[in-house]
Every structure is written in structure tokens, then in C-alpha cells.
Amino acid sequence: MCYQYYFSVKTFKEIEPTLKRCFNIDRYTPEIDNCIFYSKDPQIMINVTIPEEYRDEEGVNDDCSYLLDHINKIIIPVGDTFNIENFIKFYKDYQLKVGTHFFEILFFMLLYYQNGKKGFSTDLEAAAEDELQYSIDVRPELLELFIALEENRNNEPISIRLGSSKPIVLDKKVPWLREELARYLDKYLGVANLKEAKREYLMNYTNKEGAPNNWKLNRYIWGVYNLLEDTGTIKAKTKRTVSRKQAQFIEDYLLAIGLINLDSKIDANNIRSRLNSLMKNYDSIKELTEEMQYKTSPNNEGGTRLF
């Protein structure tokens, strides 16, 4: 069973620039776009000619913006387990003097998360069985191998140990094994460089327990941090650093919306270290969220096996 929450279009338009800046979410984000289309009067799009101001230079209609200008509320479906009481308590506990629409933004992101819980589909859920196996079990080990080889490129000799077996020594004097590994990794991994490999490994595989949730979790952690820096009064003293108060606020918010629980081992200390790592490896949350997906090698298209 699903329940419906109604979010004012007027408020959404006012907070949308901040949502984009802090969370990289706007009207064109698939989950939001779906809710907007779900909210329309069935008669709105029947035999309607979209005015020219809703068309781009190539004549493509911006149906989403047209609908936003013709509805008053966005309907956001949530699951029947949705409980708002924790968020209300969180709101009362933090009686902050904050910027315009600060808590409306946090409430919207709560609805966004709850809507995602109801029907959040990932690339993995639609993947074929062999691709699923590759994404979860094989690719992280290929990334580890690539990272190890690149980081030790100038070290001689280097060795690879498989389980408890005798190490395999890679010596530049006999380069054939290195060359074969490089060709294999190019085909079945397909990353451009060490930085790219490290970032993908950090995002998708550092914590294998429920990896898909890491995508949403990292977006929320960095997004709320951005919001605190952008419109809140709990700010870090130095740019791109995380204060204890900020980390505690983020932990309390994630607990309030149900994204983490007391047994998840994600506390203020973990949040600070996670944020520091994300900001070290990514220039912005936009760059981060563009990589929120499991990957396959672009060099193995049409192959019957992915490893």
C-alpha cells in the first residue's frame, strides 16, 4: 500500500535552485520528474499544443516545466511504513535560525528518500544475471588489481598472491605477464587511469554491505553538508572541512528519516571521515552523483561473457 504526500509547487520552485546546488536534484531528476507527471490532471496533456516558450532551440518540448506551471501540488507517493514522527522530533530538537526554506528542503529530501524506498530501481535490479555477478563479485577485484599494478608501476619486482599460494612475481625483465594483464583489464574493466579506478572503487565497493544504498547515503551526507554550508548557521571554520556539529546534525537527520539506524555503524565520526574522503576525490556533488551506477567495460560490448 502507498500513501500520498502533497508538496507545494510554489515551494518546490523556490527551493529547486538550492536542491540542485546542494544535492544535484531538480525537476528533471527521474524520480522527481515521475512525481510531476503523476501529479497532472489527466486532461492536461490531451490535445494540448505546448507553447513555444516550453520548447528548446531544436523544438523539443519541456513537458516537465509545462506541467509544473499547470499544477499546484506535486504528489509524492510513499510506502505504508512511512512515519513522520521522528522528523518532527528532529525539527523540534534543532530550533535553528536558518536560511529560507531550510527545513522544507530537508522535508522534501525525506519524501524523496521515502519515495525511493517504495520503488527505487537501480541498474543492478535490471541487470542480467551474468552482469550482476560481474558488477558485484568480479569488477571490484579487477579494480583492486588495476590499482595495485598502477600504484606499483615503478617498483621492482612486484608480486601477486592468490590466497595462500606462492606469489607470482612480475618482473620488468619478463614483461609479458604485465602486458597480458593490462590487455585483460582494458577489455573487462575499461578504466582510463588510476584516479578513475580509485573513485569508482571508493563509491561502489568500499563498503560492500548494501552497496546500492551507499549511492543514496553519500548523496544525503554531502547534500546536507552543502545545505549547512549554504544556508545554515552550523558552518565549518575552513572551506571543505567538516565540523563536529555538522557531522552530528547529519547523523541525527539520517536517523530521523530512516536512512541509517543505530546498528548501521554510521555515526558522526564515520560521516566526517566519509565526507573528507568524498571531497578529496570529487570536486562537487554533481561529479559524485554522475558516477552513481555500477559499470561494465565499454570495450566488451556484445561479449557473451563479462569476465
Q: Identify the pLDDT of residue 303.
A: 64
Q: Identify the pLDDT of residue 119.
A: 42
Whole-Å CA distances, 32 to 61, 254, 269: 18, 20, 32
Q: Identify the pLDDT of residue 126.
A: 47
Q: Identify the pLDDT of residue 292.
A: 63
Is 77:1 a contact under the CB 8 Å cutoff? no
Going along 32-174, which residue ranges are E strands? 73-79, 158-160, 168-170
Whole-Å CA distances, 227 to 18, 29, 71, 232, 234: 8, 18, 27, 7, 10
- Specify the pTM: 0.75
Whole-Å CA distances, 76 to 5, 33, 148, 216: 5, 11, 45, 18
Q: Identify the pLDDT of residue 120.
A: 37
pLDDT tens string, the chain, 307 residues long: the values are 678 999 999 999 999 999 999 999 999 999 999 999 999 987 776 777 889 999 988 889 999 999 999 999 999 999 888 889 999 999 999 988 787 899 999 999 999 999 987 543 344 444 455 666 787 788 888 999 999 888 887 777 777 777 777 877 777 777 788 888 889 999 989 999 999 998 888 777 775 443 444 778 889 999 999 999 988 778 888 888 999 999 999 999 999 999 998 887 889 999 999 899 889 888 899 988 876 667 778 888 766 567 7
Q: Identify the pLDDT of residue 212.
A: 42
Cα–Cα distance between 275 and 205 in angstroms, integer?
Answer: 16
